[in-house]
Structure 1
Amino acid sequence: MRYNIIRIGIIAFASITFVACSDFLDVNDNPNSPIKENLSLSAKLPAALVTSAAYESTQLNQVGGFWGGYWGTSNEGVSSFMSLKNYNGPAIRDTRDGIAVWESSYINLLYYKEVLDQATAEQALFYSGIAKIMMAHHFFTLVDFYNNVPYEEALKGSSILHPTYESGKDVYRKSMDLITEGIAEIKVASLKPSNDDVMFKGSEVKWVKFGNTLKLRALLRQSEVKDQATYIRQEITKIVQEGSGFLEEDAAVNPGFLNTAAKMSPFYETYYRNNSGVAVANYANIRPSQYLVNKYKEYNDPRLAQNYVSAKGEYKGVIFGSNAIADEFAAGNTSAFKGPNENGNKPGGVVKSFSQSAVLLSLAEANFLQAEAAERGWIAGEAGRLYQNGIQASFNYLFNAVYNIEDYMNQTNVRYGDATNKIERIITQKWLALNSVNNIQAWADFRRLGYPNFPNSVSSPTPGAYPLRFMYPETEINTNNVNVSKQGDNGILTARIWWDVN
């Protein structure tokens, strides 16, 4: 089923909290036809947040893992993920076997629209504020994959079955405004969530910082679009004037995952072990790319050994897109994820435990975003310090404790002051930090800046070509083709997202 990723999040939350939120999340596959149920906000909010987190940890991590330069496949996985390895747009958009980013995103948006509508009716401003921030987050994702998408006419149920599309640029601006509204509502709310907020436990300041950090990420997406400079300055001013700043911890969701089928942390269950402790297929099929392994080695980076196991005494990766069966690319001869089973029952780096939190936006990324913004002169602050904070946050997250990075930072190829291209240095360390945490951000940064310069798939139908986007899905073509056809070229290798100008 194409929505197994969604179901993981649904079942996990419903079973753990003993709330019948699965009825709320059991929507029709048509993203314009939600099923409304009479559930409390305290049931709807956590269900929606868990679904967002499962989507980020699994589906988006998968796409970003392969297209962001991190992952390839072993011999055992040579026939898996073929559409991603071949940049096969029609296969990716296929109704039955495709990758349902469009459908997953709009389903998530429906959940938050339900929260928003009920919260508005009940004057529960904290809940409506959260819903608006999370809706913006998902609209940003849609634009990053598809460019022009329905916005104003989306989520209208049977009243508008064929929503018109709006430009990706306009959807970005409206989503920025949605976050501004959400922040304002949270700051004046009297009724606050508590444990039903499975990300920040009802913390006003943390939600506001998260909203500001999402804004900064969206503004940096536009860094290369020259006619956006004035708009970016105006929006940065709003963030500064709001005054709360940016994230100071991971934005991570955890309703209390259990070691039970479909109730485990989604990344762990999808890429490592099932509830019986048996390795899942992805554990043998997915391997780090040779480029990633070599980058770690280039920086004498201890995160390599924290994230992966050695194979016969060496850390070995694979070639992304290779369909050749060779002994050197066998699962037993290449480096798998290191989790508790390979680490003396202690947490690994990206694989920690069946109960590990699902990260929506990491502290490491928040610091790297600020470092880039500071280096560009957008915000106050020392770019080098923020850059180091990003590296520190990554090491702390992966080593599950405060890690001494002094030796690492003293390397010439790591020191910020020694960089001739400081933006490239920031993005390269950001790339290393987000490996298998939020892979999808690497694909966006590569399209925007070309850093780091990882190789494309050796199975690319066009030599030297990289994927630029997803094609509109068959589900949308079959139900809204008049509006889809107005968008023009949407080829994976030919049509760019509006902010991708290089």
Structure 2
Amino acid sequence: MNFKYIMFLLVLGVVISSCTKEQFEDAYADPEKVAETSIERQYTGFLNATRGHIVPNYNDYFENLRITLNPWTQSISWINTPNQYIPGSRALDLVWNNYYAGMRQYREFEKVFDASEAEKQTRLKVFKQTADIHFFRETAKMIDLYENIPFFEAGRLSQNGGDYDNSYPAFDLGPDIYAYMLDELKVIADDFAAGEPGVSAAASLKAQDFINYGDFDLWKRYANSLRLRMLNRLSLSSEFSSRATSEMAEILGNPSKYPVVENNDQNIMIDIYDINSAINSGGFNGGINSGGWDGDDAPKAMIDYMNESEDPRLRVLFEPGDSANGEFIGIDPLLLGNDQNDLRNTSVTAFYNRTTTSRNQSFPGVIINAPEVNLIKAEYYLKAGDDAAAKEAYETAIKQSTDFYFYVNSLGADRIAGEPTPVEESEFDVMFATEAAGWDNAGSQEEKIELIASQKWVHFNIIQPYQNWAEIRRLDYPVLEFWVDNSSLVKTPPLRFNVPGNEQSFNKSNYEAISGEDELFNPLFWDVN
């Protein structure tokens, strides 16, 4: 495949691909440490502050995903223990603090932009628009975890002149924030459709942007694909269903005005160019395999599904256990912990392919890619009554997902898992004829929704865990069984995260306004199934 992988040099700003972490962080302004910055430098600082939940890293995987979203979506197996469904305070703090650290950088960027002369604001408008797109992506992820968060007045301590007493932000409602972001994204998409940025701004953006490298076409696709994701997320909510249907129709019906990510060359992701630079996936292995805590053991439900559907991704996503005679076997989540441990210790259970994932220091940070967009399309077309278009999008997504994971495997310098056998087109013919994955074998719209949801689950796996958990809650597919923890008040996986204790304590009066909604088993506003 000819994936987007151009050489990126930050000729006018930071040279990320050859910087140490210290050099990189010196190249942009931290609002808490320096008095002067610029639109361009602060823009890169904001992007950098958000990469902790995009590029695979130790903290996110070990301290959060290993014990929350990945087992709760059965993207990994785990050993059943008491209180396993209670989100740990460290995991909650990590996600919350990372988001608001990024928000502080965004607000400082916003402050610098707003203080600039009118001519500069006009010339560099594309910086504000693309920063907004990315910030809205980060914010939607937070709402999908917590629903109600401080947003509109949050992160403004610097803008408020350091006045702490007047900088404690109110909690805003998830539906209100979603509506605002969709409005803003529509304005940006229409403005992007009207014309490209000037030569000066385009060159400067190319120098500072390490997501799309200044490629304006990719930013348009990012904006519209994010709109599709968010509208799809809200599509079952009575408050948003009409808007979701009409705006998705507008986007998909006018691809020249509202282009989306169509193929893997257009994927929105942070590529790794130098594993010795600040941007790398070197912490991926420790994040899922640190200190004997296995975060990459194969889950029985996913392995069984891929076996039943004769999915060619199986050999590039997983490795069979050393004693499994080449068979892919997952750990049953309903077994007692001791029995699960015994099974794992016999080395018969599969685990994620190390060349593709954990040992792959060049694994890109995935933001939005073509398989996800096509699965969104499949759901939309199915509900609109166009079965042929839905089937085409569904099957295209599976092929693109397969190509994507074989491509990512090829980036891994550590070939410990060996070379996967290339995929033949005939393998898709076999897969699409199975009862488990064949579109034409599904007898109802609901069964086809289950197919789409199952393919999202396989495609997202441990790589897009936040999207995975959101879509499983929204669609209630695939149907997953969990061990019931009768020793705990939280007996099964929750439906949301709790607001962290520090936020509850230090922003007490504002938190109290939404505390009644902040319950683990209170469905989010878009989770209506």
TM-score surpassing 0.5?
yes
What's 1:476 paired with? Answer: 503
The one-letter amino acid of 2:315's match is A
CA contact (8 A) 1:116 1:131 kept: no
User: 1:406–1:379: structure 2 CA closer, same or farther, 3 Å change rule?
Assistant: closer
**Offset of residue 42 of structure 1:** 4.4
**Offset of residue 164 of structure 1:** 1.2
What's 1:486 paired with? Answer: 513
**Offset of residue 264 of structure 1:** 2.8
Q: What secondary structure is seen at the aligned counterpart in 2 of 1:359? A: strand
Q: Aligned equivalents of 2:292 and 2:387: distance in 1?
A: 43
Instruction: Within 5 Å, give how 1:26-425 maps onto structure 2.
Output: 38-56=36-54, 57-58=56-57, 59=60, 62=66, 63-73=68-78, 86-89=84-87, 92=88, 94=89, 98-120=92-114, 121=116, 122-123=120-121, 124-157=124-157, 158-159=162-163, 160-184=166-190, 186=192, 187-190=195-198, 191-192=201-202, 193-236=205-248, 239=251, 240=253, 243-248=257-262, 249-254=266-271, 256-259=273-276, 264-265=280-281, 268-271=284-287, 280-281=290-291, 284-311=294-321, 312=323, 313=325, 314-320=327-333, 323-324=337-338, 326-330=341-345, 332-340=347-355, 348=356, 350-351=357-358, 353-377=360-384, 382-400=389-407, 403=423, 404=425, 405-420=428-443, 421-425=447-451
**Offset of residue 464 of structure 1:** 6.8
1:345-366 deviation per Cα after TM superposition (whole angstroms, max 9, x unaligned): xxx3x45731231111222111
User: 1:285–1:428: structure 2 CA closer, same or farther, 3 Å change rule?
Assistant: closer
**Does 2:477 match 1:451?**
yes
401-410 or 287-296, which deviates more: 401-410
**Offset of residue 282 of structure 1:** 6.9
**Offset of residue 452 of structure 1:** 0.3
User: 1:227–1:40: structure 2 CA closer, same or farther, 3 Å change rule?
Assistant: closer
**Offset of residue 155 of structure 1:** 1.9
Q: Aligned equivalents of 2:272 and 2:373: distance in 1?
A: 23
1:289-315 deviation per Cα after TM superposition (whole angstroms, max 9, x unaligned): 111211111212232221222111232
Q: What secondary structure is seen at the aligned counterpart in 2 of 1:65? A: helix
CA contact (8 A) 2:498 2:520 kept: no
The one-letter amino acid of 2:259's match is G
Q: Aligned equivalents of 2:359 and 2:328: distance in 1?
A: 20
Q: Aligned equivalents of 2:75 and 2:182: distance in 1?
A: 30
The one-letter amino acid of 1:416's match is W
**Offset of residue 449 of structure 1:** 1.4
Q: Aligned equivalents of 1:14 and 1:99: distance in 2?
A: 32
Q: CA RMSD in A?
A: 3.3
**Offset of residue 257 of structure 1:** 3.5
CA contact (8 A) 2:229 2:376 kept: yes
State the aligned residue count.
Answer: 461
35-44 or 222-231, which deviates more: 35-44
**Offset of residue 466 of structure 1:** 3.2
CA contact (8 A) 1:64 1:441 kept: no
Q: Percent identity?
A: 20
CA contact (8 A) 1:36 1:114 kept: no
1:364-392 deviation per Cα after TM superposition (whole angstroms, max 9, x unaligned): 11111111112122999811111111101
1:70-109 deviation per Cα after TM superposition (whole angstroms, max 9, x unaligned): 11236xxx78xx86xx2214xx3x3x67542222112222
CA contact (8 A) 1:250 1:363 kept: yes
1:9-38 deviation per Cα after TM superposition (whole angstroms, max 9, x unaligned): x998793588543575767xxxxxx55653
Q: Aligned equivalents of 1:51 and 1:381: distance in 2?
A: 42
**Offset of residue 55 of structure 1:** 0.9
What is the TM-score of this pair, normalised by structure 2? Answer: 0.77
**Offset of residue 408 of structure 1:** 2.1
CA contact (8 A) 1:21 1:39 kept: no
CA contact (8 A) 2:299 2:332 kept: yes
**Offset of residue 488 of structure 1:** 3.2
Q: Aligned equivalents of 1:292 and 1:250: distance in 2?
A: 25
What's 1:276 paired with? Answer: none
Q: Aligned equivalents of 2:505 and 2:496: distance in 1?
A: 20
User: 1:236–1:204: structure 2 CA closer, same or farther, 3 Å change rule?
Assistant: same
**Offset of residue 236 of structure 1:** 2.9
Unaligned 5+ segments in structure 1 are 1-9, 28-33, 273-278, 341-347
1:198-245 deviation per Cα after TM superposition (whole angstroms, max 9, x unaligned): 221211121111111111111111122123222223433553568232
Q: Aligned equivalents of 2:457 and 2:91: distance in 1?
A: 29
User: 1:20–1:259: structure 2 CA closer, same or farther, 3 Å change rule?
Assistant: closer
Higher Cα Rg, which structure: 2
**Does 2:434 match 1:436?**
no
**Does 2:25 match 1:21?**
yes
CA contact (8 A) 1:50 1:254 kept: no
User: 1:489–1:457: structure 2 CA closer, same or farther, 3 Å change rule?
Assistant: farther
Q: Aligned equivalents of 2:246 and 2:33: distance in 1?
A: 39
The one-letter amino acid of 1:485's match is E
The one-letter amino acid of 2:351's match is A
The one-letter amino acid of 2:148's match is N
CA contact (8 A) 2:298 2:330 kept: yes
**Offset of residue 428 of structure 1:** 0.8
**Offset of residue 393 of structure 1:** 0.9
Q: What secondary structure is seen at the aligned counterpart in 2 of 1:170? A: helix
User: 1:12–1:194: structure 2 CA closer, same or farther, 3 Å change rule?
Assistant: closer
